[in-house]
Chain A
Amino acid sequence: KNEVEQSPQNLTAQEGEFITINCSYSVGISALHWLQQHPGGGIVSLFMLSSGKKKHGRLIATINIQEKHSSLHITASHPRDSAVYICAVPSFGNEKLTFGTGTRLTIIP
């Protein structure tokens, strides 16, 4: 089983700050997913990446396959970024995902 650890569990920051959320996993993978869960419960897929870096707006995701580590960065954070961010890794030939416990991010105006 691929263990997935996220840090920090909770993060509170001021609007405009640069945010970093980390994810480590124990077994080699082909790709990693970053998800955002809104306060209402809905989940949005932010990134799926297998190497290097991806950028979408103010969000940047990086992955180091050798070190089994990924980071999610948010630049110029905004209160609407407040959500739970979850990393997930595939297993069993990409048939299923194992999820981290999530990072609860709160951005204060």
Chain B
Amino acid sequence: DSGVTQTPKHLITATGQRVTLRCSPRSGDLSVYWYQQSLDQGLQFLIHYYNGEERAKGNILERFSAQQFPDLHSELNLSSLELGDSALYFCASSVGPGNTIYFGEGSWLTVV
């Protein structure tokens, strides 16, 4: 158990819908990272928050947004979902940039 909690574990939704994925980092970790893993793209960095502030963005679509709340949990919002958004979404946390990263179990999203 990495100490990073993600919910939901599995989610099936229809195209055009909106979903929210939630992440609770390890106790004491200030950095939260979101990654997407699809069959054809592999693991891709989406976004990094540190202590509530956005620090870096990767190839995150405009239809996707994220935030980190004062209690340090984070949410990834995916809207206007398309079939191609079906993937495994990981949240990870660390004490800060440049430190060991701990991954959650991931949220499996299937868009039908």
| Interfacial residues, chain A to chain B (CB-CB below 8 A) | 30-31, 33, 35, 41-45, 48, 86, 88, 90, 92-99, 101-102
- Which size class do B's interface residues fall under? 20 to 34
Contact yes or no, B56 A90, CB < 8 A: no
B98 interface neighbour in A30, A35, A45, Cβ under 8 Å: A30
**Known A96-B48, A102-B42: A45·B97 in contact at CB below 8 Å:** no
- A-B CB pair tally, cutoff 8 Å: 53
Docked CA distance A102–B43 (Å) = 9
**Known A95-B97, A96-B33, A96-B58: A45·B45 in contact at CB below 8 Å:** no
Residues of B within 8 A of A98 (CB): 45
| Interfacial residues, chain B to chain A (CB-CB below 8 A) | 2, 33, 42-45, 48, 55-56, 58, 88, 90, 92, 97-103, 105-106, 108
CB distance from B98 to the nearest CB of A (A): 4
In the complex, the chain B residue whose C-beta lies closest to that of A102 is B42
A92 interface neighbour in B56, B90, B106, Cβ under 8 Å: B56
Contact yes or no, A41 B105, CB < 8 A: yes
Residues of A within 8 A of B88 (CB): 41
Residues of B within 8 A of A97 (CB): 33, 45, 101
Residues of B within 8 A of A43 (CB): 90, 92, 103, 106
Contact yes or no, A95 B56, CB < 8 A: yes
Contact yes or no, A95 B42, CB < 8 A: no
Docked CA distance A101–B44 (Å) = 10
